[in-house]
Structure 1
């Protein structure tokens, strides 16, 4: 999926910590998923009227993620996570994210993820809550 920065309505600045850096001097690959999680949380907080989401009530969980590592990230870079939902199903949504250099726009990594409605009491999938569906449809124009 070829997307430009202008295709994303949510950008989340990332603070790179010294302990994110591995022996080769760049951000360790395992940390990228934490950055994508920060972007995902920020996205849903925006949809939730800029309030933190109560994830026990949200009834959404990650079912799948796929990350492509394109370029290394170094400690002194200014990085942001760009996030968007690009598809809604009955019980799931698909999100696409970029980790990009804030100054140059260079994409360092991409992530495709699937989130599903989930009932923690029954451990069964659920239809997406109407409030999330309508918020996403209005926000993304889906």
Structure 2
């Protein structure tokens, strides 16, 4: 799949996909994208997913949002400028107060997975400064997006 708008097959399981161009400044002295930038790419994908399920909008109204409890990244291939990437995101597991987000980064020039990561997201009431249950409205929105085919949000 060489067309920039065609989603590669490894991202089909991800209902939310964004495209991100690699900036020259993303690279480090070793001539590839610095590891910290992968977490920024995950964050961009996470925020896009949260927009799709209206979590950020609801957070403004209720003061309840999601915070990162833990995160990880497994690197497979270096990414170099010039390139663009697709970043897929999905929620693979939900408990009472948290959920697991998974990410996959695919290079558009290589059409190969460069990294995979995950984050444990904890629901948090910023007004009461404590974790809370996932609101039913959010749980329903997540279940709905996870049941739809992949989509591509151009960024």
- TM-score under structure 1 length normalisation: 0.87
Secondary structure (helix, strand or coil) at the match of 2:40 reads helix
Distance across 2 between alignment mates of 1:109 and 1:80:
11
1:134 is aligned to 2:137:
no
Higher mean C-alpha deviation, range 95-104 or range 77-86: 95-104
1:80 is aligned to 2:86:
yes
1:53 is aligned to 2:78:
no
Aligned positions of 1:1-142 closer than 5 A: 4-48=10-54, 53-54=56-57, 55-56=59-60, 57-141=63-147
Secondary structure (helix, strand or coil) at the match of 2:56 reads coil
Runs of 4+ in 1 over 4 A off after TM superposition: none
Q: May I ask how many residue pairs the two structures share in their alignment?
A: 136
* Runs (5+) with no aligned partner, structure 2: 1-8, 148-155
Q: Which has the higher contact order (CA 8 A, sep 6+)?
A: 2
How far the C-alpha of 1:35 sits from its partner, in A, is 0.6
Distance across 2 between alignment mates of 1:71 and 1:47:
31
- TM-score under structure 2 length normalisation: 0.80
| Contact 2:27–2:80 (Cα < 8 Å) also in 1 | yes
* Runs (5+) with no aligned partner, structure 1: none
Secondary structure (helix, strand or coil) at the match of 2:74 reads strand
